[in-house]
Amino acid sequence: MDAVEPSVVARVEGRAGTILMNRPRALNALDGEMIERLAEAAARFAEDPAVDLVILEGAGGRAFCAGGDVRAIRAAALAGDAATVERFFAEEYALNRRIAEYPKPWISLIDGVCMGGGIGVSVHGSHRVVTEHALMAMPETAIALFPDVGTSYVLPRLPGTPGAMGRWLALTGARLRGAEAVEAGLATHHVPRERLPALREALLAGDASVVERHAAAVPPGAVEAARAAVEFAFAPGDLSSIMAVLTAQGTDWARAQLDVLHRMSPTSLLVTLELLRRGATMDLPACLAMELALTRAVTRHPDFAEGVRAVLVDKDNAPRWSPPAIADVDPAAVLAMFGD
């Protein structure tokens, strides 16, 4: 019988600590064991004087990390196993904070899908390098979760009109391809895939500044083309105003955003807006604590199990939300999820 490969491979190469997320069949989605092993590797490399920087990668060529293993979280929630749900999110968010406070350069080489938890293990680091094959998104409203892993801190602080870009990405789950992620502020550098092996080899000498020398210029792309529309439509902090502006815009782009918003969990949309509103005035540790508390309520809401079922289990993409319409969501019920 073949030996089972470890889900995380961490080793010292040259002056670098390298970490490979190694569940390619699952698109390197994070389960509890992976989070634990990532945390162990991060702690070891932080203390190792032979390590000058950390390189984080995903195996398989299709994904950096497609997110957290929310199907397992759904199963635990449906079984009433609150302890498993709590442990998963607590350990994941602790890892996100560790990366944000890391004493050495934390360099993520993002080549393929990077969503949810994958953004959590990269966006808080010093360098987020994307190739033209990278695809970054926070698609949580489609499964009735919310943008977590510390993005309640990150998204409100993206460049441009305060909060607008983050609200667009969070509410619609918009997908950013390659250099678009640099335009939006989620990634820091664009390096073509063909240059990635040379960059990795250069990083093994322990000097993070080589990223600059390998990076390519970012020409204006889809995000810049849509920036004016995004910053106008998503400037308001309430959902009814955002949708009214999109309706008034009447463009193909605006209609596409409205179509997306009407497919998402109404409760999740309102929870997400409130989360970003609060996160804009809080530091990262406070945001992570807020997110952890919020997971307790949100994973018990019927929309979470239904959203994961529709998107990831049965894959019929026909969720039956409760309540089904934005106008039916009780604002008091949303605030109650935050403990108000």
Residues identified as active-site = 68, 117, 140, 148
Bond into 323 cis (ω within 30): yes
Cβ neighbours of residue 3 closer than 8 Å, sequence gap 6 or more: none
| Distance of alpha carbon 237 from alpha carbon 289, whole angstroms | 22
Whole-angstrom CA distances from 253 to 184, 227, 229, 234 are 17, 11, 8, 13
Of the candidates 291, 283, 290, the one whose C-alpha atom is nearest the C-alpha of residue 68 is 291
| Distance of alpha carbon 23 from alpha carbon 8, whole angstroms | 8
Rg of the chain on CA atoms, in Å: 20
| Distance of alpha carbon 7 from alpha carbon 121, whole angstroms | 15
Measured torsion, CA atoms of residues 59, 145, 120, 314, in degrees rounded to the nearest 10: 0
Phi-psi category of 163—alpha, beta or left, where left has phi over 0 and alpha has psi -120 to 50?
left
* 3-class SS of residue 263: helix
